[in-house]
Amino acid sequence: MTTSIEPAAARHTEHDSNHFVQFYESDVELIEDVGAFLHRALGAGGSAIAIATADHVASLTSWLDSADTARRRAHDAVFVDAQVALDGFMVDGWPDDARFMSTVGALVARTVRAGQPVHAFGEMVAILYAQGLGEAALHLEDLWNGLAREHRFSLFCAYPDRAFVGAEHTPLFRHICNAHQHVLLTRAWRDAGDQDLHLRLALAQQRATSLEDEMRRRRSAELQRDAVLMNSPIASALLLGSRHTFQLTNPRYLAMVGRADLIDLAYLDAFPEEAGGAIVAALQRVFADGVPIVHEEYRANRTGDGDERVYTLHFEPLRASSGNVDGVILSAVEVTSYVRAREAVEKSRTEREALLADLRNANGAKDRFLAMLGHELRNPLAPISTALVLVRKQNGGTTDKHHDIIERQVAHLSRLVEDLLDVSRITRGTIELAREPVPIATVLARAIEAANPLLEQRSQTLSLDLADDGGTVSGDPVRLTQVFGNLLNNAAKFTQTDGRIHVKAVSSTTEIVVSVADNGVGISADLMPRLFSFFEQGQTTIDRANGGLGVGLALVKNFVELHGGTVVASSDGPGRGATFTVTLPAASAPTTDRGKQPAAPHPDGNGVRVLLVDDNKDGLMAMEAYLVEMGFHVATATDPATALEVAAAFSPAFAILDIGLPGMDGYQLARALRAQQTATPVRVFALTGYGLAEDRRRSNEAGFERHFVKPVALAELVEALTGASRGERPSV
């Protein structure tokens, strides 16, 4: 089609039977030109068709109303919303030829009358171009031209000149001009005189030269961009338009998707299986909103090798000089190795948590086993202890040395049972020592006494080398006796009949060193690192191999370290005997820790009223008898409800409460007593088996003045009561 450019306004009427286009600067200019165009047809007895935006339809209606063509327009003018018309024949962003003919074509056919002019104005092509559908707009121009070949009418198309700012619009601008018979210039050009026209032409030539230079620079930048994308170590692709047509793909992208070529293919044409998927959604969103998107850990398998690959996808908008989004740059970074490594770590962490849970369960099972074992061991100890009390009573309160030995050993065995029950607490390092100055000779004598039955049974010889008195340590005599008793028992078990065991103690001003050596079976090198572990399994474990529970040497190490000392084992190997050496800090000087205990109290309760509450009736009776003997006026209760009733009638000055009471614990009872005894406030002491820091904190919050742990030092309790009755305020 031959296209001419007409600047003069006088030429406007000459094209009333042609297909022409005008690029306008303002809506006011457009409405005046289109209104005049439609008015000419109506004034000549013809018809007018306006397919325009809603705003332009309203403006044209107003313009024609003021042009005295209302009577004719009422019958011969047709106004259609351009977007409504587009919706009638557009399919997936493309004009459907048949639908166009059945809608717009039918409208034109109805309007055309023989010999009468028909002027049509259309903005549908401009709307499509503004929506980024340039190719669709050109196809619609072709449909208009085809319609013009069937019917005689004049078609006025219009585009805002601001729609073609930027060199990237030049090719499509040329196509639009070529699709029309005439191109009308803007009013500024049409109304210019000769001098002004020459000036405008000169300025236009200068701007054209500048534009060409800018186009060259931009083309160079585009070529550089394309080169960077093509040579990028990251898989990259450039997709243009609303259909996301591949404009560029680098080798890494093609390898990633397993394709040889994608140029000029729309994304969904290349990958129809991606319809409704994450990549299509991201392309559409970035193209519409112009906001970059990062899609973490996109999983795909397009290489055909059966392995899932993981990528981080980056979607960046590609903007034209006008600021509009022309396309999207898609880049992909493979993160498969990273994701698999992270998943492996997460799996390992999950497995580790499962193993820890199993270990916690196993530890709980161990504690339950020890509790059951302790219960079974207590059963025979109880009648033995009772029998000893009966023997002492039958002998008038005196016994011979054999009974004393039995009594000491029963007490020691009872302590060992308690140690066994506390193994889990020992391994956590929470055992408390009852320290006092104790000669090492006394400790060794008690340990030897405890080990003698086994030594005599195995006909073994024990020798003791004690320099001077061996020195004094500040420690728990029971725990220290247990340390050396365990070492002697261990030596006796692993030394043959008629073997020899030698104990030697050497002291200095700073430390005491005690060694227990034997000529027994010795210790293998592979056992040495595990020698002091709890419950070590296997035949190489000393305690387990000889029927023990596997806790003796572990307790030795734990108790020695609690005393600030060390224990080491040495052996020249199997059959060469073993030596265990214990090093303890020496006491700096004799002390009198026992003197810290209150002196035996005198009966000076002075009738102070005391309420005792404990669900252990034996303990309650014993404590009542003791406090009465000390001069206090005592009332008792075994449960909280009874305690509140007794207190209401008794009005005690003090209440000594157990914490673990039925129905209502001691903390709640303390609050209830204070709320009840408003007239004569009661002061509350705790007497309980709970002795942790958390228990003391709760006592303090509940208003207890003192927190005593069973078994209580009776003199200390009496001193606290008498002091408080004198107005002193002891702390918890």
Q: Is the pLDDT of residue 511 over 60?
A: yes
Architecture of the domain defined by 232-334: 2-Layer Sandwich (3.30)
DSSP secondary structure code for residue 163 in this structure: G
- How far is the C-alpha of 674 from the C-alpha of 156, rounded, in Å? 99
Alpha carbon distance 572, 233 (integer Å): 65
Topology at the third CATH level for domain 433-593: Heat Shock Protein 90 (3.30.565)
Q: Which among 290, 310, 291, 313 is positioned nearest to 302, based on CA atoms?
A: 310
Give the pLDDT confidence of 66-103 residue by residue, as tens digits: 876 544 554 588 999 999 999 999 999 999 999 999 99
**Phi and psi dihedrals of 463, rounded to 5?**
-120, 145
Element (H, E) at 144: helix 134-150
| Tens of pLDDT, residues 585-597 | 998 644 444 334 4
Per residue in 428-467, pLDDT tens? 555 778 889 999 999 999 999 888 888 888 899 999 998 7
* 246-283 per-position pLDDT tens digit: 988 988 888 888 888 999 999 999 999 999 999 999 99
Rounded CA gap, 610 and 213, in Å?
A: 107
**C-alpha angle 688-693-694 in degrees, rounded to nearest 5:** 85
Tokens 């005295």, residue?
68
Q: Identify the pLDDT of residue 221.
A: 66
Pair 30, 55: CB distance under 8 Å? no
If you average pLDDT over residues 137-154, what whole number do you get? 89
Amino acid 124: pLDDT: 94
Please tell me if the domain spanning 232-334 has the same topology as the one spanning 598-725.
no
Long-range CB pairs of 60-68 (<8 Å, 24+ gap) are 60/31, 60/34, 60/35, 60/121, 63/31, 63/32, 63/35, 64/35, 64/38, 64/39, 67/35, 67/39
CATH topology classification for 598-725? Rossmann fold (3.40.50)
For residue 83 the two structure tokens come to 């977007």
pLDDT of residue 470: 76
Token readout for 550 is 């596997």
* Range 4-191 classified under CATH 3.40.50.2000: no
Rg (CA), the chain: 52
pLDDT per residue as tens digits for the range 164-190: 766 667 777 787 888 788 887 666 656
Q: Are strands 325-334 and 309-319 parallel, antiparallel or unpaired?
A: antiparallel
Domain boundaries, the chain: 4-191, 232-334, 339-405, 433-593, 598-725
Cβ neighbours of residue 246 closer than 8 Å, sequence gap 6 or more:
237, 238, 239, 262, 263, 264, 265, 266, 267, 270
CB 599 within 8 Å of CB 547: no
Q: Which amino acid is at 199?
A: L
Each residue's pLDDT tens digit, 523-543: 888 888 888 876 553 344 444
Please write the tens of the pLDDT for every residue from 5-31.
444 344 445 445 578 888 888 888 899
Q: What is the 3-class SS of 223-271, one letter each residue?
A: HHHHHHHHHCCCEEEEEECCCCEEEEECHHHHHHHCCCCCCCCEHHHHC
Question: Band of the pLDDT at 230, cuts 50, 70, 90?
Answer: confident
The least confident of 319-323, 532-536, 633-637 is 532-536
